[in-house]
Structure 1
Amino acid sequence: MKTKTLKNKNTVMLITLGIVAVVLVLLAIIGNMRKGGKGTEPVVEVISVEKGDVRQEIEASGNVESEWKKTFYSPVNATIENMTVEAGDSVEAGQKLIAFNVDNLEADNQKAELTARTGKLELEDAQEQANQAASKVAEAKADIPKLEKQIENKKNKLSDLRQQIAETQKNAQAQVQEEVESAYQAAVLAAETKYQEEMDTYNNVTKPEYDKELEALKQKINEGKGTETDKEDYRHLLDNPPKVPELEEVNPADFQMTGTGMADTSALEAEMENVSSELAALQSELASKEALAQSETTGLTDAAKEKIRISNNLTELETKNLQELLEEGRKGIEAEFSGVISDTKVSQGATVTQGMELFTLQSMDDVCVDASISKYDFDKVKEGQKATVKLGDKKYNGTIEKVNRIAVPNEKGAPTIGVVVHIDNPDDGIFIGVEAKVSIQAAEVKNVPILPVEAVNIGKDGSFCYVVEDGVIKKKEIETGVTSDAFVEIKSGLKDGEQVLTDIGNHSEGDKVKAQETKTDK
C-alpha cells in the first residue's frame, strides 16, 4: 500500500514539473518576442509614404436665390383689367403680365404736371456688367470733362437769361415812369394855361363889368333915384363880388405808376425753364458718370445693383409726360427677362396708383446658393474656387462669388460665415428658395507626399507619425498641408518610401518590430 501511494505521488510530481517547464518555455518565447529577440520580432502594419493627389472639400448648405431681381411699379393710375400671373409662376421674356383699363387714364392724368424728358436705362446682367465695367469706367472718365463744359454753358445761359429778364423789366419800369412824368407836366401846363385864361377874363371882362354895374347903382342911389330894388342889388353886389380865379393845384400823387410796369418776359422765362431742366439732367448724368468713374471694382455690388434699379424705376416715373403715360398704360407690363414671379402685391381688378409696387420678377438664369460655413473653414474658402451644388437629385457646377467678412450666429448661436455660390449651369430643375447642398473645392495639390489620415497623430505640439527605421519604432514630427477625408499632404518631416505605422497599438517608441507593407488606394 505504501509503495503504490509513493508511485502515484511521483507521477503527479512529474506531470506537474512537465507542465511548469512548458509554461516557462512559452513565457520565455513570449518575453523574447517582446524584447525583440532575433527572428521573433512582432509584425506591424506599415504604409510607405508615396506621392499622390489630395483634394480638400468643405461641405455647406443654403437656399437657392436669384442674383437678378426687378420690382415692377405701376406706371399709371388705372385699374388692372387682366393679370395673367401669380406668385410662383414662370414667365418668358416679352410675355405680357398685366393689362390696364385705360378708359379714364387720360382724364385722370390731365391733372398731373409731368414735364421731364423720357429716359430709360437698360441694365445688362451681372456677368456682362463685370466684363464691361472697365470700358464703362473709362468712358465715364472721358465724358466727365464734356459734361462739365456743357453744365458750365447751361449755367452761363441761365445767367444771361436772368440778366435779359431783369433788363427788360428795368426798361419797362423806366418807360412807365417817363410816361407818368410827361402826364404830370402836361397837367401842370394845362392848369396854368387855364388859370391865365380865367385871369384874363376876370381882369378884362368880369371885374370891369362888376365895377361898372356897382358904380352905376351907387350913383343912382346917391342921386336919390334908386329904388329899394336898386339898393338890394347894390348890397348884393357888395356882398358877392366876383371870385378871383385860383391856380388849380396838380397833385403829383395822382400821377404815380398805376400799373406794375412789368414787361412780357414769358418767352424768356419759358426758355429759362427749359435750360434749367436741361441743366438738371446734365448734372444728374454727371453725378452718375462720376460715381461710375470712381468705382474700383470690375463688377456691381448688390447695393449698386439695387441703387441702379431704384434709380431706373424713379426715372421711368418722373420723366413720362401725359402722352407717354397713356402709351405705357396701353402697353401694360411685360417681362423684361425670363424668370419667376415672387411677392405679388396686387391682383386682377385692383385699382393701382402711379408708383405703386406690383410684383417682383426674379431671373432663373442668374442664380446662386446663399450658404454658410463654419468659422473654422473660412480661411480655406476663397472667391473664384469651384464647387458642386446638389439640388434634389441633380448636380450643378458652381463658383464661389463672394465670401462675407462678418460672421453671424446660426440658430444654435455658433458663428458662421456667409458664402455666395454662383450656379454656372442652371436649367429648368432650379427652384428659388429651396435648400441645396454645396461641396466647395477649397484646395487641391497633386503629386505630393501623402499619408492616410489614420496614420497621422496630433499632439499639443503639432502633428507626428511613428515610423519603422532599421526595425525600430521611431517618432517623427511632421508638417501637414491639404487634408481630405482620407489623405493628408506631408509637407515636411518624412521622405518618399518611409514606412509609417498606421496604428502603434500596444507597442512603444523604441520597440523592435518587423514591418509588413499595406497598400492603400490613393
Structure 2
Amino acid sequence: MAGNKRGRRRRLRMAVIVGLVIVAAVAGFLAYRGLKSNTAAEVSYTTAVVQKMTLTSSVSGTGSVELSQTVAVQPEVSGTVSGLAVKVGDAVEAGQLLFTIVNPELDLAVTKAEITYQEALLGLEKAKLSVLQAKQDLADLQEQYEAQSTTTTTSTTLPVSSTTSTHPAPSTTTSSSTTTTATLPTDTSSTTSTTGVPPSTTGVPPSTTVLDSRAAALLAASSSAAASSQPSQATSNSGSSSSAKITELDIKAAKQAVESAELSVTSAEFQVTSAELALQEAKENAAKREVRAPIAGVVTALTVENGDTIGQGGSTSGGGGTATGTSSSSSGGSSSSSGGVVTITDPDAFTVKVALSESDIPAVKVGQKATISFDALPDLTLTGKVTSIDLAGTNSQGVVSYGVVVTPDVTDPAIKAGMTATVNIITQVAADVLAVPSSAVKSQGNTKYVQVLENGVPVNVTVEVGISAGSYVEIKSGLTEGQEVVVQTITSGSATTTTIRNRTGGIFNEGGGFPGGAVPGGFVPGVR
C-alpha cells in the first residue's frame, strides 16, 4: 500500500512537471513570434509639398437680420396739421409731402424780415453817399488851404518913382463875391531887387516913409480879405483868395469825417448781412410748414390727424393723436430715431448683428470685409463690411461675447427682417506665402517644428509660422518651396499584445489559458 501511494505521488509530480514544461515552451514560442512580428513591421510616411498660396484667416458668427434705417419724422415748427394723406403701411418716396402745418405767424415773420432787409439796403446807400460827400468836402478844404498858402507866400512888387517921393493911397473895394486887392502904381523904368524892394535910380535906398505906406496898403488888403462873408468859397489862382482862413485842424477834422463815414458804411453792410440772414431764416421756417419724407420706405407709425395742433417740442393735441402703428429703431443703423409723429422704415436697408467670443474679437476691426449667408436662402451670399463693434461685452453664463454689426454692400428683396444669417469676417489675408498642412506642424514647448525626410528618415526642422487658414498654416521661415514634410506616419503590422487569459476549453485556447481555468502556483500572466 505504501509503495502504491508513493508511485501515484511520483506520477502526479511528473505530470505537473511535464505540464509546466509544456506551458513554458508554448509561452516561449508565443513570445518569440511576437518579437519576430515587431521586428518585421514596416513604417511608411505620408508627405506634403511646401507650396505658395494665398491664405485667408477669418472668424464667423451667427446672428439675425435687422432693419437699419428707421426715421421718426418730427415737425420743427408749431401749428395745425392739414393735408395729411398717408396712413400706416403706405409706401412713400424721399421728399414726398406728408402734410402741412398752418401757421400765419410765419408769413408775418417773413414780411417783417423783408422790410428790415430793404431798410438795411437803403441805409447802406445813404452811408455810401455820406462817404462821397465827406471826401468832396475834404478835397475842397485841401484846395482852399493850398490856394491860401500860395497867396500868403507870394511877394508883392512895389513901384518907385524917380521924380516923386509919395504915392497915391491904395483903393480898397469890398464885395461878398470878390476879393479886394491893393493896387500900387509901378514905375516901368525901375527894376526890382532880389529883396522885393525897388532900388532908387539914383542909387539911394527908398525913404522909410515910402516903405511904411506900402506896408499899410498890404495890411488894408489883408483886413479886407478877413471880412469876407464866404469862408468856404474856393479862390482862383488868378488873384482871388478864401474869405476865411483854413487851418490844418480843419483838414484833420475833414479827414476824420471821411473815416467816420466809411465806418458807417461798414456798419450798414453788417446790418444788411444780418437782415439778409434773418430773412433767409424766416423763409426757411415758413418752408418747414411742409413736412416731407426724409427717406423712401413704408409708414410704420402715425400719431397725428388733420386738425391736430403740434406745439413746440413736438407735443400734439386735438381729436387725433392715437398711435396707429409701432415705431422701431435699430442699433448700428445709419439714421435711426424714435418719438416722431410719423415713422418711416426702409425695408431694403438692413444689417446683420452677430455675437463673437472675446477670443475672436481682438482680430476684428471696423471696415473689414465679410460674407453673409442666410439659412432660409442657401443660394444667396452677399458681401459686406464691419460697421460697428460693441465697446462693452455681454456676460452670459460665464461666456463673454461682443456684438458686431455687418452691413451688406447690396441688398436683395428676398431678405426679410429676423432671418438667421451667418457672417464670415475676413481678419487677415496673406498672399503668395509658403504654406503646409496644419497636420505637419508639431509643437514642443513654444517651439514649432516639422519633419523633413532625409534619406528616408524624418528630421525635425524648426519653423516660424504665420496665420492659419482652414487646414493650412503659413510658414514664414525654416522651409523652402518644393520641400516635402511629413504629415502622417503609417506602420504596417503593429506590435502584438498578448495576454494570458483565464478561459475554459482545451489545453490552450485562442485567448491562452489552462484547462479548467486553473493557474499553476507561482505563474504570473504578462503582456508582451
TM-score (norm 2): 0.46
If you compute each CA radius of gyration, which structure gives the higher value, 1 or 2? 2
Q: Point out which structure has higher relative CO (alpha carbons under 8 A, 6+ apart).
A: 1
Give the TM-score, by structure 1 length: 0.46
